[in-house]
Amino acid sequence: MAQSADEMSLQVVSAVSNSALLQPGFSLLNFHGDVFFFGQKGWPKRSCPTGVFLLDIKQNELKLKPAFFSKDSCYLPPLRYPALCTLRSNAEPDEYQYIIHGGKTPNNDLSDKLYVMSLVSKNSKKTTFQCIEKDLGGDVPEARYGHTINVVHSRGKSISVIFGGRSYTPLVQRTTEKWNSVVDCLPSVFLIDFEFGCCTSYILPELQDGFAFHVSLARNDTVYILGGHSLQNNTRLPSLYKLKVDLPLGSPAVTCTILPGGISVSSAIVTQTSDAEFVLVGGYQSDNQKRLVCNTIVLEDNKIEIVERVNPDWTPDIKHCRMWFGCDMGKGCVLLGIPGANKQFISDANYFYILRCKGAEKDKEEELTAQICSQTSTEDPGDSTPFEDSEEFCFSAEANNFDVDDTDTYNEDDEEDESETGYWITCSASCNIDINTWVPFYSTELNKPAMILCSSRAGHWVHAQCMDLSESMLLHLSESNVKYFCNEHVDLNKGLQTPKKVVHLKKQPMKPLRRKSMMKLTTPVKKSFLRRLFE
């Protein structure tokens, strides 16, 4: 196989502090040269409720700067391993949106929702996005992760293509021992019409087995699917499929062709270097062996060409580490990360690199028009040591890609420790609120749990959910001017409270009965009446 002579440079990035926020499965969004991070570990904190951060590189440091959502945006949970691609506007080619489908939430629930994120405004101090959830109907794809989504164009129309991924075992097939086991999704191809939200599934005879963590590239009306990992067979077959989508006036038509020259790889990263050229880097060729070979992929009108290229000078740490992860930064750059050797003792022991697949000054303003989508991070690490949560990602780098004011850059030291105070306290002995697994319980909650003040002694705050309060009761207590006592102090409050003052009713004097009336009373009644009269 011929090799591409284009050089690749690997830049070491030294972590300064708190880099553990980036976990396998994160995503990077490139809006007009600005790179944004999405898919953090754990639920967003109040410092950045959106969970979307600007990667701000300035003065040899890279920091996470919180981004904001517009008021008409929906709630977007932090999703890892989602399917993600760009959707360009037909009227304004320079304007585009990101489509996000599926993925894992911090408590390992799978999402079946589709979100559309667009840039509303950006200045040196604030970046605002609009996030909208798209309603889907028809053959809606089941909740999944590790899949891909692309946009194809045919006969002046556009449609998205979803394929692959993994999901949990159906409820009827689950057992206690394997309750959270995952399986490959059926090898169905889903077409989604963004204008009407209609979903249609197709079963093609060429696609026999399901797989996930593959790479997909789209150009015009064609999607190329490369590599992937099958759980059923535990294999990474050198597969290469060509999906062609035709959008006539009637129903869409989808055909599949098996092509030779595939690559046995999963979880690879793809970055685009020119209009028709891509670079494939990273991934795994077996469960315990990383793939250190890089490839150039060229897409022409009706064919695909894959050739090896000169590899970067991998460092010994990269060569000998068991796992690695990363994501495409756009314009021929890839952010790579490896866990440190002592990560079980040091929470921020991740090492990062920026891989540049073309010269730093080459084609800086080049417009990338082809669609690209890949599962850019490694499969779930499984029994590997989990990284610690963080709210700031700051490391040194020799880059001048951004020129953003340092004002309003988030610094974790500027806030109080929410693990001890604020919303993430242990409010009672039965408290089960965990910052890493909490999900909204009441309709009024967004990014933090609802709390209510217990009026015992000095008073303390408790989570409404831990107190088993219904939503109607919580609203009643918040609107009424009454004292509330938590489950642990309600009995004590009853014992210490001042007895209510008993109001004695004034007895009205009874009018004496006439003699004739008393004569009509029987003897027992007369005796009872006289007794009460003279008491």
From the annotation, which residues make up the binding site? 427, 431, 454, 460, 463, 466, 486, 489
Question: What value does the mean pLDDT of the chain take?
Answer: 79
Structure tokens of 297? 């992929």
pLDDT-above-70 percentage for the chain: 73
Where residue 143 falls (left for φ over 0; alpha for ψ -120 to 50; beta otherwise) is beta
Indicate the domain borders of the chain: 9-359, 453-485
Q: Which residues make up each annotated binding site for Zn(2+)?
A: 427, 431, 454, 460, 463, 466, 486, 489
Residues 6+ apart with CB under 8 A from 336: 269, 282, 318, 324, 325, 326, 352, 353, 354, 355
Distances 366 to 28, 94, 322, 331 between C-alpha atoms, Å: 19, 12, 36, 8
At 373 the pLDDT is 54
pLDDT number for residue 510: 60
Summarised one tens digit per residue, pLDDT across range 206-221 is: 999 999 999 999 999 9
pLDDT at 136 over 80: yes
Q: Which of 238, 205, 80 is nearest to 145 (CA)?
A: 80
CATH ID of 9-359, from 3.30.70.1230, 2.120.10.80, 2.160.20.10, 3.20.20.70: 2.120.10.80
> By mean pLDDT, which of 264-268, 342-346, 395-399 is the weakest?
395-399
pLDDT number for residue 129: 96
The residue among 170 and 304 whose pLDDT is bigger is 304
Residues whose CB is less than 8 angstroms from the CB of residue 405 and which lie 6 or more positions away in sequence, other chains included: 124, 125
